[in-house]
Structure 1
Amino acid sequence: MNLTPAASAEASALRKITWHIMPFLFLVYVLSYLDRVNIGYAKLQFTGDLGLSNAAYGLGAGIFFFGYFVFEVPSNLLLKRFGARATIARITILWGALSCAMMFVHSETTFYVLRFFLGVAEAGLVPGVVLYLTFWFPSDRRARMVAVFMAAIPVAGIIGAPLSGFLMSALHEAHGLRGWQWMFLIEGIPSILTGFWALAVLRNSPADAAWLTAEEKHAILGRLARENSVAAAAGAEHSLAVALRSSRFWLLTLIYFCLVTGNAGFSFWLPQIVKDLGVTNLLTNGFVTAIPYLAAGIGMILIGRSSDVTGERRWHYAVCCFLGAAGLIGSASVTNSIPLAVTGLSIAYVGILAGFGIFWSMSTTFLQGTAAVAGIAVINSIANLAGYVSPYVLGIVKDATHSVTYGLLLIAGALIVGGLVTLAMPRVKVLHGATSAA
């Protein structure tokens, strides 16, 4: 099919944009997620060293999200003022330094303090990138692009789980340091270096990209401007004050709260869940833990593409929630079989992670302009309080029952609620070149 000059310029621009910014954003989130959840692997060693209970570990793992909650909106406002390039560089350098500092944890208090400030440092990365993608990609590309970005989560697990297990085993007591201390140090340094690299790689918008021709800039900026106009006519919220008064905004927040409940509880406790199945060797535990991440990485790309190609969001997202719940319930029911339990965990994580890309594509359809700048961060910061609650509750449940089975069932219940609420939302249809919310 022959394309018009404008369509050809737009297609060329999108190819260049994808290959210039997505690999780097992907790398940033791989490092981010690794430095966020490697505490789950450290738990297998350092809770004994520090004498921490499961509840104390859960509180420390989750307090990261309280720091997120406090500083996420200011971070997105700073991104709008100073640009994504400076903001993402600042976030990456600070969290890398604090991740390295986790090697100096020596008490319950220092554990809580450093985890809180790690959340403060990383606050704004995900909503900032989601907002940043709206500056570059039209609506019918965003679920795929967010899925590519979020695919860093399973890749971080696939790489980080065996790596963390290896570092904790191979370097244990080297030069007087425990294995978990080496792990925090070695896995934090690449983030610091990548933060400085961001200053050379990232540009704030297509208008600043020297690698786009004048025709390509005109085509993509024109497409984005037309979409914003159509979204405004369809009822998208441009004012944050108006968005905060709308039931749609709070339904989105509730939906995302349920999804984060599933992801936070799952990711921070997965190494312990695998250990409870009988996989106690650290390196073997890392390889088994990587299996659900691998399945989720494949599933989230396929489901995100399906949502973009069909232009449908609600049912895709709801099915992801129900799939996650079914996998968790199944894995909790077959704890006497490692293969069956890991299969259930893999199905669960496909559903949980695939939901992220679809959610952000759905929410950026409803929120435009000023509402998108702060609204995305408000939704993410409030919902991420689930990341504070979920690991803590799982820790309390494990201390009380000596099992995470009931905790997994609670997470499954939250995912079911999220799926049902999604189906009560207005229908969202993504068209080629326009977005409508009915």
Structure 2
Amino acid sequence: MNNNKNTLSGVHQMDSASYAQESRAPAEDRTALDEAVKRSFRHLLPLLFACYVMAYIDRINFGFAAITMNSDLGVTLTQFGLAGTLFYAAYFFFEIPSNLLLERFGARRWIARIMITWGLASMATCLATGPWGLYIARVVLGIAEAGFVPGVLLYLTFWIPAAKRGRANALFMIAQPMAIMLGSPLSGAILAAMDGYLGMKGWQWMFIIEAIPTIILGLMVLKYLPDGPHKARWLTPAQSNALMAELASEQVTGKVETSRVSIKPLLNAPFVFTCFAYFSLVASLSTLGTWSPLIIKEIFSGSSVLNIGLAAAIPGLAAIIMMPLLSGSSDRRQERALHFALAAILSAFGWFATTQIGNPTLQLIGLIAATAGGFSAMPILWTIPPTMLSRIARPMGIAVISSCGILGSVISPTANGMLREATGSYVATGWLGVFWMVTTAVLLVTAVKLQQSMKKSNAG
């Protein structure tokens, strides 16, 4: 298939040396540009947000299923953790190929394919009858879902200028805590209300019911998501041209790029530090996504699954409030490192509070802080890679960073399952969370400082 035929955006189509040279200046028509950005937010973010809500619900419902599923299938906490690890391992191995295929086939087709197949795979989890069935279901789900998040983040870089990208990333990623806030009570209600209906367990119904919206949204993506500004019917030609020119003017280097994929732009210290920072951040967030229901169950021993679901919604609500505020402040000040560090340290303090056994109120407040801080740090981090990478290097670079995050998720579920069985509590999980969040703060601040030093050296 011709690469110029299936593109992420009009910027992708205009790879000629003449366009690259002509579009170095910012767009002259600021009114058209501002309107194009506003319309992009209005037309793209709601659909992508809804898709990510369902993506994250399909992750956190695994933790809720464990409340009753583990005993039904004879699954130990270590085996449950291993099943979570296998999901992320499969996701990891298919992450980069999926992101490159998204660029080749176009966002509309590829994101729709991802959503439809992962909806079907998530639904099939209800067929598991033991540990091995659970392992297989999670591997298939990981393969199906691979590439969704980095694909959308890549897609947004060809619609939203860098100065507005923190807010765009936050509006997209608020879907994660929104999924926690909505999915937690929903999952708890399904587990409680549907158990035994038509001879099936509540956790089986949960996987079936929560997969249906994902498949429907996949079909909506296929119909409504434009492949790029040049195909957006809701942009005028002047708005489309202004937006493409502005995005083209943000290239990292002044060199005319070729279409050849290379790893050379990724072999520098700021990029490597960013990869490790994301590894640590996601290791913490995946712990929250997988284990929060079980941690809350232990904090409030004896609570019903419905009450656990309601309690688990509170941290998500806190993150929803904090994410746009912090990202908006970061955009207004055009400052990333300090905002990221503040969010990460808040999360680290939250994890510390979860270790205070005997004080359930403080532990719940800690879980709220760990969630709000961790999720608020993520959209700020994702504003940084596009400033390090040229347009041609972005598909590979964003996929590599995302894959490093998935590696954090590979380690986290099994490690926490083993720690829980070895110690009899989640105190060690809390201390591990402190380590992850302090580490990510140090690494990302270092990456930003190194990048600034490199820019000054190149300018001199």
The answer for the alignment partner of 1:369 in structure 2 is: 391
| Distance in structure 2 (CA, Å) of the matches to 1:219 and 1:253 | 32
TM-score by length of 2: 0.89
The answer for the alignment partner of 2:408 in structure 1 is: 386
Equivalent position to 1:395, from 406, 417, 433: 417
> Do residues 318 (structure 1) and 341 (structure 2) align?
yes
The answer for the alignment partner of 1:433 in structure 2 is: none
The answer for the alignment partner of 2:444 in structure 1 is: 422
Please tell me whether the aligned partners of residues 312 and 429 of structure 1 are also in contact (alpha carbons under 8 angstroms). no
Equivalent position to 2:144, from 121, 143, 147: 121
| Distance in structure 1 (CA, Å) of the matches to 2:276 and 2:451 | 21
| Distance in structure 2 (CA, Å) of the matches to 1:369 and 1:357 | 19
What CA deviation, in whole Å up to 9, does each residue of 1:234-288 have, x standing for no partner?
9x99963212322222111100000011001111000001000125201010000
Aligned length: 426
Q: In the TM superposition, what is the alpha-carbon distance from 1:372 to its structure 2 partner?
A: 0.5
Equivalent position to 2:253, from 207, 226, 232: 232
1:23-422 matched pairs, under 5 angstroms = 23-228=46-251, 231-233=252-254, 240-279=262-301, 280-333=303-356, 335-422=357-444
Q: In the TM superposition, what is the alpha-carbon distance from 1:429 to its structure 2 partner?
A: 9.7
| Corresponding residue SS for 1:369 | coil
Q: In the TM superposition, what is the alpha-carbon distance from 1:355 to its structure 2 partner?
A: 1.2
Q: In the TM superposition, what is the alpha-carbon distance from 1:210 to its structure 2 partner?
A: 1.1
Distance change >3 Å, CA 154–CA 426, structure 1 → 2: closer
> Quick one: which amino acid aligns to residue 47 of structure 2?
F
Q: In the TM superposition, what is the alpha-carbon distance from 1:423 to its structure 2 partner?
A: 2.2
| Corresponding residue SS for 1:137 | coil
> Quick one: which amino acid aligns to residue 429 of structure 2?
G
> Quick one: which amino acid aligns to residue 406 of structure 1?
A
Please tell me whether the aligned partners of residues 90 and 143 of structure 2 are also in contact (alpha carbons under 8 angstroms). yes
| Distance in structure 1 (CA, Å) of the matches to 2:266 and 2:37 | 33
| Corresponding residue SS for 2:160 | coil
| Distance in structure 1 (CA, Å) of the matches to 2:201 and 2:226 | 41
Uncovered stretches (5+) of structure 1, i.e. residues with no partner: 431-435
Q: In the TM superposition, what is the alpha-carbon distance from 1:343 to its structure 2 partner?
A: 1.1
What CA deviation, in whole Å up to 9, does each residue of 1:289-347 have, x standing for no partner?
000010011111111111111101111112222111111001212x3233221111111
What CA deviation, in whole Å up to 9, does each residue of 1:96-155 have, x standing for no partner?
001110111111111111101111111101100000001100001111111111100111
| Distance in structure 2 (CA, Å) of the matches to 1:383 and 1:30 | 19
Q: In the TM superposition, what is the alpha-carbon distance from 1:371 to its structure 2 partner?
A: 1.4
| Corresponding residue SS for 1:227 | coil
The answer for the alignment partner of 2:4 in structure 1 is: none
The CA RMSD measured in Å over matched residues stands at 1.9
Q: In the TM superposition, what is the alpha-carbon distance from 1:65 to its structure 2 partner?
A: 0.8
> Do residues 18 (structure 1) and 18 (structure 2) align?
no
> Quick one: which amino acid aligns to residue 44 of structure 2?
I
The 4+ residue runs of structure 1 with deviation greater than 4 A are 236-239
| Distance in structure 2 (CA, Å) of the matches to 1:437 and 1:213 | 36
What CA deviation, in whole Å up to 9, does each residue of 1:181-236 have, x standing for no partner?
000000011111111111111001101111101111111111111112xx2149x9
TM-score by length of 1: 0.94
| Distance in structure 2 (CA, Å) of the matches to 1:197 and 1:348 | 34
| Distance in structure 2 (CA, Å) of the matches to 1:165 and 1:101 | 20
What CA deviation, in whole Å up to 9, does each residue of 1:353-378 have, x standing for no partner?
01110111111111122211111101
| Corresponding residue SS for 1:293 | helix
| Distance in structure 2 (CA, Å) of the matches to 1:426 and 1:398 | 36
| Corresponding residue SS for 2:425 | coil
Q: In the TM superposition, what is the alpha-carbon distance from 1:402 to its structure 2 partner?
A: 1.1
Distance change >3 Å, CA 246–CA 262, structure 1 → 2: same
| Distance in structure 2 (CA, Å) of the matches to 1:116 and 1:419 | 31
Q: In the TM superposition, what is the alpha-carbon distance from 1:412 to its structure 2 partner?
A: 1.2
Q: Identity rate of aligned residues, in percent?
A: 37
| Distance in structure 1 (CA, Å) of the matches to 2:417 and 2:233 | 50
Q: In the TM superposition, what is the alpha-carbon distance from 1:415 to its structure 2 partner?
A: 1.3
| Distance in structure 2 (CA, Å) of the matches to 1:337 and 1:159 | 26
| Distance in structure 1 (CA, Å) of the matches to 2:397 and 2:109 | 21
The answer for the alignment partner of 2:14 in structure 1 is: none
Please tell me whether the aligned partners of residues 313 and 429 of structure 1 are also in contact (alpha carbons under 8 angstroms). no
> Quick one: which amino acid aligns to residue 253 of structure 2?
A
> Quick one: which amino acid aligns to residue 94 of structure 2?
F
| Distance in structure 1 (CA, Å) of the matches to 2:399 and 2:254 | 24
Deviates more, 1:415-424 or 1:285-294: 415-424
The answer for the alignment partner of 1:7 in structure 2 is: 30
